[in-house]
A and B are shown apart, each in its own frame.
Chain A
Amino acid sequence: MKKITMASKNMRLIRLLTIFASFLFSVLLVPHTILAADPLSDQPRWSTEVKGGLFYPDIDEWKTYYGKNNTYHLAGTIAFKLFRQLEVGIEGGYIRDKGQGFAPGHGNPAGSVIYELFPLQAFLVFRWVFSEEQWFVPYFGGGWTRMYYREKIEFQGDVKGSADGYHARAGLQFLLDDLDPDAANKFYSDYGVHHTYFFLEAQYISAVIGTPEIDLGGTSFLAGLLFEY
């Protein structure tokens, strides 16, 4: 008779939970019952995102000069749907923090510096849409990034420039239409917005400049609203 050890018991439990989670996820991706006379059945051609969150820069010793290891990141996108699942678009963002610079003679942080990034991005994004009524839609994408930067140094002036790079992003979007179908229908009839999603996204940007190289990018965790129209 085969002995069942505690470790193998745990492994079975984990396997079972994984299978159950996968099943649940698959169910969530399957479209729910279609509402009668649903006006949202035709497909959207454009999408717009408004999002914000935290940006974790890839710059060494960031916390020493800016007090914490992240700052805020705001962005907006507009994209055209080549297919229902595939979009091409552009994104404009704004990242800002206020901290100190370095005083070479004193050998410590000093002064006041406002650090700003303006990432301008062109991207392709794939949205895993099977149905217009799908509650959860995973997506991923990426593309080219032009990172404009500005450092405002008190009593000194500005340092400005830009660097090229790339970015990748992935996230999960949640259909909001069913929370208030009346509002969704009105939004569609008044403004032509087919769907409204709430989404969570992780975004990685890399844009290297200078000698020695400095990567102006980092990782952002964003939340926002997606409008498809």
Chain B
Amino acid sequence: MRQKKLLRLFITMSTSFVLLTVFTPEELTATTRVVDPNKSGGCLTSDSPPCYTTIGAAITAADTATGDDIFVEPGTYQENLSLSKNISIQGRETARTIISGGGSGTILTVSGVNSITIYNFTFIDAAVGISVSNSTNVDIINNVFNLGKSLGTAVNITDVPSSTEIINNTFYENYIAILATADITIKNNILDNNATALSPGTRDMGLITFNLFNANTDNGPSDTDLQSTTNILNQSPLFVDTATRDFHVEEGSPVIAAGDGSEDIGAYGGASADTIPFPVSILSAVDSSVGPPPYQITVSWSENLSHLVTHTTTPGGYNVHYSENRSGAPYDTPIDALTATSEVLTGLTAASAPAAPVIDVARTEYANGTIKVYWSSVLNATGYKVYYRNIDAVPAPPELSDDVMNVTEHAITGLINGDNYEIEVTAYTQNTYYIAVTAYDSSGLTLEPGVQHESDYSIEETVDIGPVAEGLRSNTETEYPEAIVPHPNLPNEGCFIATAAYGYYSAPQVQALRDFRDQYLLPNTPGKAFVNWYYTYGPIAARFINEHPWLKPAVRVGLLPAVGVSTFMTRTTMPAKMAVVIFTVLALFFIVQRRLHRKLSQH
């Protein structure tokens, strides 16, 4: 009896456990979705976290039930977005994560949500930056709005309760900075150079605190009302550079530590502000070596004037990053330049001569006026030179060379068919230094370029150092080019007689006649007429020659003047042609003179 009870209990518990396990809903976890159109190799479906090339695609994929986060890498996104999901959208770096409306429309339309955070973006060029309606708990934090003073409403809020908060934003040059039909929290913002800062002007001033109002045509609320709730009036925020949209503030700005909780006012204050300084630009990077070696490069860059970098008591500074013969991050060597805006990179070395390559003689190819050689690649070579010399020509012409950059094969063209050429290859190298500069802030915390407390890299500069070091010559390849007879060797339309006489279409003599036709006959009407006449009757003569092969030598002799003139006209330079013409005219002149003189003396 007891056993039966135990068995029943066991079955009941087991069944319950199984049912609970099967039917208990899986725990919902938020997914971070990354928007990165510049991701190396592109976004893949297998990426984790999921990657997208547009913000719109990430919003579409976001799961409203889990409250997904969308994280947007720096870039300029031209999108018009609609959002009705409870998610957060964050840019990595406010100044360089830009969403543009392309001059019209609404960039981000938020409707029917009850929890959303939008932070660390710069909104530009649109009729409306963010439009919010029928929503609650909307937080707009640490953004820059710069839509155009005659164009845009930065934030347009309708039908929302007071749970909406606009905190630590910078509104610069907008038609209306904030248009809100309800009373909402507006705190720690900079509203500078807008046509209208707040609209309508009559509102609950208890919610409008710790903002800076400057140079707006119309602030909205009266100065008295604004001053009554800790707002700062008519003081320049001292932006670093509005032209490049660097809305960090300089040392001495009235917004520093002036916000609620002694935070900075504006887009770069508060706990959610990005910690990445604005990038600097390299002004110059030059080889400043004096009597090398050793070699050195002097780099100078623009100053980052943000008070976060230039802090008077605990300043930030600059790092110079460089690599030898390798482009891009991560760089091999960082140098802390402290607060200086130039640095000398010393102890740099020139390249040593690379080894000699080896020509693969088994692979050498030859064609009409062309020899193609292949060689082994050489470690550290940045390029190769192919030297060649005609060893049959008399007098011996000078050696020529082709700089073929960093490849291991080369076709030498313009050679004389049948003449032997000696070919050698050398490898060369020169050290190139790739340099980028970053600014870092005064926090003293761990630095990571473009991620935390250190700016992204500047645009990279390259400097070549030391002489080009050329290595020893390779083995010598001796080869001669020749015209190729295609298989099958078919007759070509045109140059019929010459093809018949010389046996194949690609004979150099036939080529000379063909070139003469193309360069001197076809461009003019009489020449064209002659070519047409020849195309009509030439094949008949060619057929006759082919049927009577014994005629070929005689035809070749007959064609010699034509081939000679064609070769001269198509293979010589203009000075050479002029020289021959002048010589011929002079010779004729002297011959005629001499004959006249002889005749006169006979009389």
Contact = CB atoms under 8 A, between A and B. Distances in A.
Interface string B509-524: 0010010000000000
B396 interface: no
A34 B365 CA distance: 66
Max count, chain A CB within 10 A of own CB: residue among B482, B487, B492, B511: B487
Interface stretch (A18-26, A68-76, A149-157): A149-157
Max count, chain A CB within 10 A of own CB: residue among B369, B486, B511, B546: B486
Interface in A154-190: 154-161
A162 B485 CA distance: 18
B344 interface: no
Contact of A103 (B366, B411, B490, B547): B366
Contacts of B413: 155
Contacts of B490: 149, 151, 159, 161, 209-210, 214, 216
B488 interface: yes
B491 interface: yes
Contacts of A100: 484, 487
Nearest to B514: A157
Interface in B473-524: 480, 482-493, 505-506, 511, 514
Contacts of A109: 487
Given A156-B506, A159-B505, A161-B493, A102 B366 contact: no
A66 B483 CA distance: 18
A139 B490 CA distance: 34
A115 interface: yes
Interface string A81-123: 0000000000000000001111111100111110100000000
Nearest to B539: A161
B484 A156 contact: yes
Given A104-B482, A157-B514, A99 B547 contact: no
A59 interface: yes
A153 B506 contact: yes
Nearest to B414: A155
A102 B368 CA distance: 11
B292 interface: no
Nearest to A113: B486
A208 B543 CA distance: 14
Interface string A32-66: 00000000000000000000000000010110111
Given A105-B418, A105-B480, A211-B546, A159 B367 contact: no
B370 interface: yes
Contacts of A111: 365-368, 484
A155 B368 contact: yes
Interface residues of A, number: 36
Interface in B372-427: 411, 413, 418
Contact of A104 (B411, B485, B505): B485
Interface in B262-294: none
Given A105-B418, A111-B366, A211-B547, A153 B493 contact: no
Given A103-B484, A113-B484, A153 B366 contact: no
A46 B365 CA distance: 52
Nearest to A150: B490
Given A105-B480, A160-B492, A161-B491, A154 B418 contact: no
Residues of B contacting A: mostly: loop
A110 B365 contact: yes
Interface in B536-593: 543, 546-547
Given A105-B480, A211-B546, A155 B367 contact: yes
Nearest to A163: B490
A211 to B, nearest CB: 4
A156 B368 contact: yes
Contact of A110 (B484, B506, B546): B484
Max count, chain A CB within 10 A of own CB: residue among B368, B369, B490, B505: B490
A106 B364 CA distance: 12
A3 B365 CA distance: 72
Contacts of B493: 160-161
A20 B489 CA distance: 51
Contact of A153 (B411, B480, B484, B546): B484
A149 B488 CA distance: 11
Contacts of B488: 59, 214, 216
B492 A156 contact: no
A153 B413 CA distance: 14
A111 to B, nearest CB: 4
A62 B418 CA distance: 26
A101 B484 contact: yes
Contacts of B366: 103, 106, 110-111
Max count, chain A CB within 10 A of own CB: residue among B485, B488, B490: B488
Given A156-B506, A160-B492, A211-B547, A102 B487 contact: yes
Nearest to A156: B368
A105 B482 contact: yes
Contacts of B482: 103-106
A85 to B, nearest CB: 38
A60 to B, nearest CB: 8
21 contacts: A101-B486, A102-B486, A106-B366, A106-B482, A110-B484, A111-B366, A113-B484, A113-B486, A149-B490, A153-B486, A155-B370, A155-B411, A155-B413, A155-B484, A156-B484, A159-B486, A161-B491, A209-B490, A210-B490, A210-B491, A214-B489
Given A59-B488, A153-B367, A154-B370, 14 more contacts: A59-B487, A61-B487, A101-B487, A102-B485, A153-B506, A154-B367, A155-B413, A159-B490, A159-B491, A209-B490, A210-B491, A211-B543, A211-B546, A216-B490
Interface of A: 59, 61-62, 64-66, 99-106, 109-113, 115, 149, 151, 153-161, 209-211, 214, 216
4 smallest CB-CB distances across A and B, nearest first, come from: A111-B484, A101-B484, A211-B546, A111-B367
